[in-house]
């Protein structure tokens, strides 16, 4: 068996798409007997790591598309143009970053740091401007998952992927 420190495993699980905090916090507490606070801190840190990677890869994709003016370039530009048009139509621009935090905070599949970061990138929001709101959403999600993990919100258990079941 691999001898991976539990902290590294929790950071990795938290960074994984779809599972994110919903899997890392219950794993840390239930399997590795970490305190809920330490589990949440590690999970939020691990969950935010992909944000940097997503922006970097997104920019590489855009740069590559600019050099290769083919079908993929037109498709990419169409998606970006449509996304930014929707975002810049008044209400999204006004509430966009707060809405981004709330979107990231909902601990359900297809929400979270991965999807929120992709949305921010497509909307043309810089990482420097989006990251505090994405981090706030990740912290809120960690609190919610921690409350469910400790049983405080056990009536919401059906929403979470638990490696313990």
Residue 155: how many other CB atoms lie within 10 Å: 9
Cα–Cα distance measured from residue 135 to residue 45, given in angstroms and rounded to the nearest whole number = 9
**pLDDT tens string 107-141:** 887 888 998 998 888 888 889 999 999 999 999 99
> Does residue 63 register a pLDDT over 60?
yes
Residue 75: how many other CB atoms lie within 10 Å: 11
**pLDDT tens string 4-40:** 899 999 999 999 988 899 999 999 999 999 999 999 9
The torsion region of residue 109 among left (phi > 0), alpha (psi -120 to 50) and beta comes to beta
Q: Evaluate the CA torsion angle 88, 130, 48, 108 in order and state its sign.
A: negative
Cα–Cα distance measured from residue 28 to residue 110, given in angstroms and rounded to the nearest whole number = 22
Cα–Cα distance measured from residue 32 to residue 147, given in angstroms and rounded to the nearest whole number = 18
Residues 6 or more apart from 54 whose CB is under 8 A from it?
Answer: 114, 117, 118, 121
pTM for the whole thing? 0.79
> Does residue 88 register a pLDDT over 80?
no
């Amino acid at each position: 068996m691999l001898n991976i420190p539990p902290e590294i495993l929790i950071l990795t699980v938290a960074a994984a798409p779809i599972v994110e905090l919903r899997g890392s916090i219950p794993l840390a507490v239930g399997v590795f007997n970490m305190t809920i606070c330490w589990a949440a801190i590690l999970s939020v840190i691990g969950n935010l790591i992909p944000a940097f990677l997503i922006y970097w890869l997104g920019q590489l994709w855009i740069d590559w598309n600019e050099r290769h003016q083919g079908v993929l370039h037109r498709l990419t530009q169409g998606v970006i143009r449509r996304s930014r048009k929707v975002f810049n139509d008044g209400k999204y621009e006004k509430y966009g970053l707060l809405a981004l935090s709330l979107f990231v905070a909902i601990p359900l599949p297809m929400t979270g740091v991965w999807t929120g970061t992709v949305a921010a990138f497509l909307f043309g929001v810089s990482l420097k401007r989006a990251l505090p709101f994405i981090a706030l959403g990740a912290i809120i999600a960690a609190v919610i998952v921690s409350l469910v993990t400790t049983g405080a919100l056990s009536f919401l258990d059906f929403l979470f992927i638990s490696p313990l079941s």
